Chains A and B, each alone.
Chain A
Amino acid sequence: GENVEQHPSTLSVQEGDSAVIKCTYSDSASNYFPWYKQELGKRPQLIIDIRSNVGEKKDQRIAVTLNKTAKHFSLHITETQPEDSAVYFCAAKAGGGKLIFGQGTELSVKP
């Protein structure tokens, strides 16, 4: 079955710097890769996703890249702000299969 590894587990950046979180997956049939953000005490919410027919997707300060050959995908946050502080989860899903989550990254943006 699918296995998703996420790194780093914690990440601290200065406000205005960029943050990058990386995930690798094991199932080459996986074709959907969402990222969820969970603020302290709140529910996880989808912030961006990418499908296997696309190499990169951007939404304002957030971008996701996918390397199908290497089976890894990354979340990039530019010009970080204190409100970006949260736990971020990557996930991967094969067609018709279950969504498997990474272990999470706790991002801290210091003002």
Chain B
Amino acid sequence: DGGITQSPKYLFRKEGQNVTLSCEQNLNHDAMYWYRQDPGQGLRLIYYSQIVNDFQKGDIAEGYSVSREKKESFPLTVTSAQKNPTAFYLCASTEWGNENLFFGSGTQLSVL
């Protein structure tokens, strides 16, 4: 599992709670992405960042927030505004000029 690390593997959220999913990469990749995976719906883009201190909303950004203070790190916060957070979350990165997404092993988020 070298290269891009997601933690924790499993996470439980209580009602009204914000939780943060970690994503760290040591590939020196410029761009990082967060996808949400639900059964039968493929991978949907939440947020992405092509450079430090800059990020853009994806297709389903509502209820989520991110930061990109370091090139290696792209944490995702699932806020209490996200009413249906139960899903498998995948972080990915790409090298500049290379479109191949390299994925982490994912975090399964469930609501208590």
Contacts and interface: CB of A to CB of B under 8 A. Distances in A.
Genuine A/B complex: yes
A43 B48 contact: no
Dominant SS among interface residues on chain B: loop
Contact of A49 (B90, B100, B103, B104): B100
Contact of A101 (B40, B44, B99, B106): B44
B63 interface: no
Contacts of B42: 4, 6, 89, 101-104
A47 B42 CA distance: 17
A45 interface: yes
A45 B103 contact: yes
Interface in A26-51: 32, 34, 36, 42-46, 49
B43 A43 contact: no
Interface residues of A, number: 22
Dominant SS among interface residues on chain A: strand
Interface residues of B, number: 18
B101 A46 contact: yes
B45 interface: yes
Nearest to B91: A43
Interface string A69-111: 0000000000000000000010001000011111110000000
Nearest to A9: B40
Nearest to A90: B42
Interface of A: 1, 4, 6, 9, 32, 34, 36, 42-46, 49, 89, 93, 98-104
Interface of B: 35, 40-45, 48, 58-59, 90, 99-101, 103-106
Given A49-B99, A49-B100, 5 more contacts: A32-B99, A36-B101, A46-B100, A98-B59, A99-B101
